[in-house]
Amino acid sequence: MSSSPDLAARGSRLALLVVGLCWLAVLFDGLDMFVYGSVLPHLLETKTFGLTPDTAGDLGSYATFGMLVGALAAGTVADRIGRKKLMVGCVVLFSLASGVCALAGGVEVFGLGRTLAGVGLGGLLPTAISMVSDYAPRGRTAVTIGLLMTAHHAGGILSAYVAKWLIDPVGWRAAFWVCVAPLLFAPVLATFLPESLSFLVAKGRTEEATALAARHDVELPAAASGRKSAADRFDALAGLFRGGEWIQTLLYWLASFGGLLLVYGVATWLPTLMRAEGYALANALTFVVVFNLGGIVGMLVAGRAADRFGAPRISAVWFALTAAGVFLLSVHMSTAITMIVVFLTGVFLNSAQTMIYATVSIRSNPDNRATAVGWTSGMGRFGAVFGPWLGGQLLAAGNGDRGFTAFALAGVSSMVFIGIAALRGGRRTPVPSGQELVGAH
């Protein structure tokens, strides 16, 4: 039998393998998500496909709608086929969908490609979070998930460089061909990523789970006490509206709607709006890099701040600072000052939304915590669909200078809603390690 140090070392190596593979998958997820926003200024300037700001906003919403579908379906599909197969399938889907975009001869086919990519993108992130939660070292789940989420912003940084390096010498289609490259990663994922031990145990595949645990000298998770029936799931949802809880639930949903409207509206339109403010295209794409660097820093510090001051308070303050930063971007400042504002906006924006999930998770009963967080995320994704569309409509109406103001108002609304929810109080049930980050983005 292995000694305890050997057991811990092998478990750590397995965790490193799983987190490393999932990090790369989420990196490609972020690349595919942000690449549209990075090439959008060029598409509009060259009038590719006869693209106008309003149709460009529609295309941005297609991907986020696909993400909504993918996120909602991910849990059910993963329960049937396993998390590993779903992750591989999602990587294949959004890679091939980028190929459809690269080959598109018109806006309809391009839109189909973005919608299919969104389905894959939406299904991958929650599944990857579940995978790393399974294999994270004991007591390190939250930190591990925070590390995983940095990959999404690293993908955003990569998308900006892909656009800067390829658009002028090769053309915009080359950027989407780069997004097909993760297809080569799918066999690596299928070969080396272990299946979720929790899934194997839940499906009764105990021999397979035992063999996998023994091979890597890790502990086998205990069997779940039982899967919830449809009636149980409905009762958990209904519990969010019983008594005075319906007010708190709606406040969380509205805060999440505004938060994701802001996240995906800015992610889609930041380079284009910066171009409209008079910045050169190269600088506009550099802002995407700086914004996502801020996102990485924000993900690493938000949890510590929330532990000290409370997630609801941090979320409200973060949204206020985000709104101020986004509004300042409508003012033409020196490039250096603008870079600082963009960086700080990235720090606060991305982690402000994560703190909404933390608040919901902490203040929910254990029996319906997953339902509360899942529905808060789901309702928020309607904001993710609306944000890119809103930016396109404002630009189409010749009000591009008001785009940052509109997104800032979304931040103010989320600050108000989560602030009221915080003042109203609610249940304060201890949250299992890592739960507070599930559902981010």
Contact 227, 202 (CB under 8 A): yes
What was the pLDDT predicted at 3? 45
The rounded distance, in Å, linking the Cα atoms of 8 and 6 is: 5
pLDDT top residue among 68 and 1: 68
Write the class of the CATH domain 230-441: mainly alpha
- Place 1 in a pLDDT band, splitting at 50, 70 and 90: very low
What tens digit of pLDDT does each residue of 117-153 get?
999 998 898 888 878 877 777 666 667 777 888 898 8
Given CATH 3.40.50.920, say whether it is the number of domain 1-227.
no
Please provide the DSSP assignment of 166-184 as one string.
HTTTT-HHHHHHHTTGGGG
What tens digit of pLDDT does each residue of 195-247 get?
887 778 877 787 877 877 776 666 666 665 555 555 566 676 777 787 778 88
| Domain extents in the chain | 1-227, 230-441
Q: Of 309, 261, 270, which is closest to residue 159 (Cα–Cα)?
A: 270
User: CB neighbours (10 Å) of residue 313?
Assistant: 17
User: Does residue 435 carry a pLDDT above 60?
Assistant: no
Torsion of CA 387, 393, 399, 400, to 10 degrees: 50
| Strand spans (E) along 171-306 | none
Q: Of 72, 80, 176, 71, which is closest to residue 124 (Cα–Cα)?
A: 71
